[in-house]
């Protein structure tokens, strides 16, 4: 979830109050107004990486499978599927009469073309690696990394891509049937087909305006329960019920308004005054204690499969020395951050992968344990060994975060702790969501905040982020042994072999410390009894497909 995704706010909260049916004319409309916290960088599901985008995309599109309220993969655009004995060949059968939101028929080739387009190196999708489970996909996406393609023209690259695509493991057998051959068994593949990277896109609209098709309601053609009506920057994205959706008769909402507000105090005020029905992002954490007191019947704290962490740009001195990275990780007080700032039951993190992923009869995190401890004395020793005794001579680095009062408070706390414990000074800088994502992708930062919610329930959704050159690996770190362990885990059908390889990979990552875990997420939820039927399983954005508002 990308759950997509990179770039999640410090507290993920859902709130609803004062929900009502609104509208005029012949009858009342059932409308939900939900704040997602920022202007989406892109609503092209093939390239987006953030949770704000995913909340809108799950309304506009649907994969072959979708996730039910419990997070299980159930038929979506596909009515059913079959798998061979070793789960390396899947055959999906599309529903009868599937249509795009503009009325065009949807065919199996629409899915295959969309998946291939994700892999096109000219698209440069950071999530393309989620397609690598399909036979031939990795070769299609990565061939340009060979130096011989460095000066190749776009036409030459396109021709080679089409040649390699002849061996792609996804093919349309007929208009309603898709056969997918995997490179190796992947226990979570069905869940992946519910992920936004696997959504189909409308080829005529994309080809007519490759850079901006998703900005215009006329060309944002989807296959989900809703369709786009408008998108006003820094205001809201509005979607309404899609009459061409295969299950339209069971969609009760008439409209969803996704507000794009970043000012947390404003958002909380709007929520309490009834101007917003749901606040997924933007609850003012300074008000959290009061909200718990004022709305005890509406507040729930749910588990989440995610981690809040800092990235280190390992190409910048002194962060190119792992002793420095280890010292920084050991010299902060995580318990004070989760008890005094976030206050939502978050758990201090001494590993990347959170609890909640089964391993045999146990839990992957509990089996693996912690990989480091908070130890100021050891941190000072490591910093001295790296040439900076008591912080002397340490250059002034900058912590980058996307605009958010919560991120700012966390960064200020870490800034003060590093000053007190290590004698070093760091500066803080914030950027709007899209600019921040670009800075991270381009390596234009020293230290940057990040968050990751699992895309599926398996450790690999965290582990494979940090392979050398990975689309979501913004640290510039790479390690051949780590890459080999990830490959072993991805290419083995033996669960014991897979899990051991991922434990070993995580241990190596936490020793090298290109990322500094801070805490594992929870979902702090406020919801009015008037809002019913919403769902937000562990690896999913908030889904309003089945939502209703009671009178």
Q: Distance between CA atoms of 231 and 211, rounded to whole angstroms?
A: 16
Q: How confident is the model at residue 6 (pLDDT cuts 50, 70, 90)?
A: very low
Comparing 259-273, 305-319, 525-539, the range with the smallest average pLDDT is 525-539
According to CATH, the topology of domain 1-61+224-298+527-551 is D-Maltodextrin-Binding Protein; domain 2 (3.40.190)
Helices (H), 63-198: 108-119, 137-142, 154-165, 189-192
Strand 65-67, strand 89-94: pairing = unpaired
**pLDDT value of position 203:** 98
| β partners of residue 35 | 259, 279
Q: Distance between CA atoms of 426 and 417, rounded to whole angstroms?
A: 11
62-208 has CATH 3.90.76.10 classification: yes
**pLDDT value of position 28:** 82
pLDDT mean over 467-480 = 95
**pLDDT value of position 23:** 33
**HEC letters along 472-526:** CCCCCCCCHHHHHHHHHHHCCCCHHHHHHHHHHHHHHHHHHCCEEEEEEEEEEEE
Q: Distance between CA atoms of 43 and 52, rounded to whole angstroms?
A: 10
CB 354 within 8 A of CB 525: no
CB 544 within 8 A of CB 239: no
**pLDDT value of position 18:** 32
3-state secondary structure of 164: helix
Q: Distance between CA atoms of 490 and 186, rounded to whole angstroms?
A: 7
Region of residue 469 (left: phi > 0; alpha: psi -120 to 50; beta: else): left
**Residue 11, pLDDT above cutoff 50:** no
CB 31 within 8 A of CB 21: yes
Q: Which residues are CB-contacts of 392 (< 8 A; sequence separation ≥ 6)?
A: 423
Q: Distance between CA atoms of 107 and 94, rounded to whole angstroms?
A: 8
Distances (CA, A) of 117 to 46, 111, 206, 341: 8, 10, 10, 42
Total residues found in the chain within this entry: 551
> Start-end ranges of CATH 3.40.190.10 in the chain?
1-61+224-298+527-551
Q: Mind listing the pLDDT tens digit for each residue in 207-248?
A: 999 999 999 999 999 999 999 999 999 999 999 999 999 999
CATH level 2 (architecture), domain 306-521: Roll (3.10)
**pLDDT value of position 4:** 27
Mean pLDDT of the chain: 92
Q: How confident is the model at residue 300 (pLDDT cuts 50, 70, 90)?
A: low
Q: How confident is the model at residue 469 (pLDDT cuts 50, 70, 90)?
A: very high
**Which pTM was predicted?**
0.88
Comparing 145-149, 195-199, 530-534, the range with the smallest average pLDDT is 530-534
Q: Mind listing the pLDDT tens digit for each residue in 66-124?
A: 999 888 999 999 999 999 999 999 999 999 999 999 999 999 999 999 999 999 999 99
The pair of three-digit structure tokens given for residue 493, joined into one six-digit string = 């059908």
> Start-end ranges of CATH 3.10.105.10 in the chain?
306-521
Of all residues in the chain, the percent with pLDDT exceeding 70 is 94
Half-sphere exposure of 513 (CA within 13 A, CB side): 21
For CA atoms 370, 376, 381, 385, the dihedral sign is positive
In DSSP notation, 302-366 reads EEEEEEEEEEE-TTSTTTTSHHHHHHHHHTS-HHHHIIIII-S--EE-SSSS-S--EETTEEHHH
> Start-end ranges of CATH 3.90.76.10 in the chain?
62-208
DSSP 105: B
The pair of three-digit structure tokens given for residue 471, joined into one six-digit string = 């689309």
Q: Distance between CA atoms of 350 and 128, rounded to whole angstroms?
A: 29
Q: Distance between CA atoms of 400 and 391, rounded to whole angstroms?
A: 21
**Residue 479, pLDDT above cutoff 50:** yes
Q: Mind listing the pLDDT tens digit for each residue in 382-436?
A: 999 999 999 999 999 999 999 998 999 999 999 999 999 999 999 999 999 999 9
Residue 320 CA, chain-centre distance (Å), reads 27
């Amino acid at each position: 979830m990308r759950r997509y995704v990179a770039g999640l706010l410090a507290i993920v909260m859902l709130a609803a109050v004062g929900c009502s049916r609104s509208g005029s004319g012949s009858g009342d409309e059932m409308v939900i107004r939900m704040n997602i916290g920022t202007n989406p960088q892109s609503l092209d599901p093939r390239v987006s990486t953030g949770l704000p985008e995913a909340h809108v995309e799950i309304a506009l599109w649907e994969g072959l499978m979708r996730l039910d309220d419990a997070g299980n993969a159930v038929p979506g655009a596909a009515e059913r599927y079959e798998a061979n004995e070793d789960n390396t060949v899947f055959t999906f059968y599309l529903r009868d009469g599937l249509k795009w939101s503009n009325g065009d028929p949807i065919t199996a080739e629409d899915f295959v073309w969309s998946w291939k387009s994700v892999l096109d190196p000219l698209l440069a999708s950071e999530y393309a690696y989620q397609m690598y489970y399909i036979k031939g996909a990795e070769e299609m996406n990565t061939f340009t990394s060979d130096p011989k393609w460095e000066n190749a023209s776009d036409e030459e690259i396109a021709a080679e891509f089409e040649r390699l695509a002849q061996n792609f493991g996804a093919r349309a057998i007929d208009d309603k049937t898709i056969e997918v051959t995997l490179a190796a068994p992947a226990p979570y593949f069905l869940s992946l087909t519910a992920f936004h990277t696997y959504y189909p896109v409308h080829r005529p609209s994309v080809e007519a305006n490759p850079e901006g098709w998703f900005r215009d309601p006329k060309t944002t053609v989807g296959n989900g329960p809703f369709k786009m009506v408008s998108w006003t920057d820094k205001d809201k994205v509005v979607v309404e019920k899609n009459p061409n959706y295969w299950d339209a008769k069971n969609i009760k909402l008439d409209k969803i308004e996704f507000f794009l507000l970043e000012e947390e105090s404003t958002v909380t005020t709007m929520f309490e005054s009834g101007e917003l029905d749901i606040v997924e992002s933007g609850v003012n954490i300074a008000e959290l204690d009061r909200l718990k007191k004022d709305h005890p019947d509406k507040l729930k704290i749910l588990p989440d499969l995610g981690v809040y962490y800092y990235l280190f740009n390992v190409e910048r001195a002194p962060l190119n020395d792992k002793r420095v990275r280890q010292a920084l990780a050991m010299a902060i007080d995580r318990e004070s951050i989760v008890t005094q700032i976030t206050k939502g039951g978050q758990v201090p993190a001494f590993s990347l992968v959170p609890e909640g992923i089964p391993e045999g009869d146990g839990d992957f995190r509990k089996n693996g344990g912690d990989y480091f401890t908070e130890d100021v004395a050891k941190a000072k020793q490591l910093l001295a060994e790296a040439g900076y005794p008591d912080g002397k001579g340490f250059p002034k680095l900058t912590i980058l975060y996307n605009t958010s009062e919560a991120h700012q408070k966390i960064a200020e706390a870490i800034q003060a702790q590093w000053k007190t414990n290590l004698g070093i000074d760091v500066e803080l800088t914030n950027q709007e969501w899209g600019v921040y994502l670009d800075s991270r992708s381009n390596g234009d930062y020293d230290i940057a905040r990040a968050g990751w919610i699992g895309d599926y329930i398996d450790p690999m959704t965290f582990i494979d982020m940090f392979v050398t050159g990975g689309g979501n690996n913004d640290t510039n770190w790479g390690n051949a042994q780590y890459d080999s362990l990830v490959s072993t885990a991805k290419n083995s059908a033996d669960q014991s072999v897979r899990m051991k390889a991922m434990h070993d990979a995580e241990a190596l990552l936490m020793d090298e410390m290109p990322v500094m875990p801070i805490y594992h997420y929870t979902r702090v939820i406020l919801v009015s009894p008037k809002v019913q039927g919403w769902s937000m399983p562990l690896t999913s954005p908030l889904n309003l497909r089945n939502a209703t508002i009671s009178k």
